[in-house]
């Protein structure tokens, strides 16, 4: 008797090798375009599949999951964040929710370090000047940025991404400081030469650069409030 393959519905276009492998393993319905599915489209999907593969752009809330058929047993998020999914309600319906924590930590840290360098060295501003043919000749102080070596980097959230940012920043000679819900291990602190700040406010007021690397949750929403931005930039923030 042939084995029945799980029926899988994918909400967005994924990398071609992933789609090819999924087609080999499952009875899969791939997204025809890279446009986010409508609510009605998602509702039909959860009614008719065993596994739903959404992304962070899909709102998988109680309203949507109320349409779920009895066969839906797994929501396999393509990504690390799951704040778009009502995990508690899904679990109450017997639906398992999975994600891919850590898979993008190094890549996200690359982007964070690139933004730090682009800001301090005015790279985007300089590129626009060249693109717009506005370069009028060199002068000693023209487009003078600032070096990152020796600067104090305050990392908010010392998880996988925060630690990856710290490793990159150390290679540029930056001083590593961090705030986290709890101190990281002594081994990691020693490896990164990192200083822990129990008070976020005190750390913010003493740093040159801030890297925000904590997850987006109700507790961290608007974590950098107007009051805290003033701690970083002063009253003109």
Q: Where in the chain do CATH 3.40.50.720 domains reside? A: 7-98, 105-122+147-233
**pLDDT number for residue 218:** 86
SS3 125: helix
Q: What is the mean pLDDT of the chain?
A: 95
pTM of the model: 0.82
CB burial of residue 112 (10 Å; 0-12, 13-18, 19+) = buried
CB atoms within 10 A of CB 202: 12
Helix, strand or coil for residue 196? strand
**pLDDT value at position 216?**
82
- Per-residue pLDDT of 109-163, as tens digits, reads 999 999 999 999 999 999 999 999 999 998 999 999 999 999 999 999 999 999 9
Q: Which residues pair with 210 in a beta bridge?
A: 154
Helices 123-131 and 105-120: angle between axes, nearest 10 degrees: 70
The CATH number corresponding to 105-122+147-233 among 3.40.50.720, 3.30.70.20, 3.10.580.10, 3.90.420.10 equals: 3.40.50.720
| Integer Cα distance of 126 and 143 in angstroms | 7
Examine the pLDDT at 237 and tell me if it is beyond 60: no
CA dist., res. 216 & res. 130, Å (int): 37
Q: How far apart are CA 227 and CA 126, in angstroms?
A: 32
pLDDT tier at 2 (50, 70, 90 boundaries)?
low
**In 10 A of CB 75, how many CB atoms?**
24
Alpha-carbon distance 81 to 79, whole Å? 6
The pLDDT assigned to 26 comes to 97
Q: pLDDT tens digits for 3-57?
A: 789 999 999 999 999 999 999 999 999 999 999 999 999 999 999 999 999 999 9
Considering the four listed CATH numbers 3.30.9.10, 3.40.50.150, 1.10.1040.10, 3.40.50.720, the one that applies to the domain covering 7-98 is 3.40.50.720
| Helical residues (DSSP H) of 144-213, grouped into ranges | 160-171, 186-192, 200-204
């Amino acid at each position: 008797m042939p084995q029945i393959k799980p029926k899988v519905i994918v909400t967005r276009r994924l990398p071609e090798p992933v789609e090819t492998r999924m087609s080999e393993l499952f009875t899969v319905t791939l997204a025809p375009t890279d446009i986010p599915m409508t609510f009605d489209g998602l509702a039909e999907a959860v009614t008719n599949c065993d596994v739903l593969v959404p992304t962070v752009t899909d709102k998988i809330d109680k309203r949507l999951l109320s349409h779920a058929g009895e066969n839906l047993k797994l929501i396999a998020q393509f990504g690390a964040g799951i704040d778009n999914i009502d995990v508690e309600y899904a679990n109450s319906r017997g639906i398992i929710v999975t994600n891919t924590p850590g898979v993008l930590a190094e890549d996200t840290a690359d982007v964070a370090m690139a933004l730090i360098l682009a800001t301090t060295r005015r790279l985007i501003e300089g590129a626009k000047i060249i693109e717009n043919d506005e370069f009028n000749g060199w002068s000693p102080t023209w487009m003078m940025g600032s070096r990152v070596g020796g600067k104090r980097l305050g990392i908010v959230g010392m998880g996988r991404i925060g630690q990856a940012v710290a490793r990159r920043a150390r290679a540029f000679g930056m001083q590593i400081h961090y705030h986290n819900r709890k101190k990281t291990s002594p081994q990691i602190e020693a490896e990164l030469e990192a200083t822990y700040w129990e008070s976020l406010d005190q750390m913010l007021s003493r740093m040159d650069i801030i890297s925000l690397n904590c997850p987006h949750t109700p507790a961290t929403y608007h974590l950098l409030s107007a009051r805290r931005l003033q701690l970083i930039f002063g009253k003109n923030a």
